[in-house]
Amino acid sequence: MYEYRCRLCGTVEPAGTRAEARALRAAHREEFHGPDEIVEVPRMRFVDLPREQKIATVAVALVLLVAFLVKTG
């Protein structure tokens, strides 16, 4: 005797065999917690950043550049 227990929502379903329990799990996940997917996210480019973040990035780069110039010059 087997049981499928969903730790996410607490559902418990009796199953005759381990294979049956696995099938119940697949069906349960799909029905109640799905659908889910894994997708590849494209790399973020500088131009895609929000405006404030662009300004902050440029500011940091300028500070680093000035610090470098002051140190070496």
User: Site residues (CB under 5 A) for Zn ion?
Assistant: 6, 8-9, 11, 32
Instruction: Identify which of residues 9 and 44 has a Cβ nearer to Zn ion in the complex.
Output: 9
Is the Cβ of residue 11 or residue 57 nearer to Zn ion in the bound state? 11
As given in the structure block, the two tokens for residue 10 are 């607490």
What single-letter amino acid sits at 6? C
Q: How far is the CB of 13 from Zn ion (least distance, A)?
A: 10
Residue holding tokens 């470098």?
68
Helix/strand/coil percentages in the chain, nearest 5? 55, 10, 35
Residue nearest to Zn ion (CB): 6
Minimum CB distance to Zn ion, residue 2 (Å): 16
Which two tokens mark 56?
């902050």
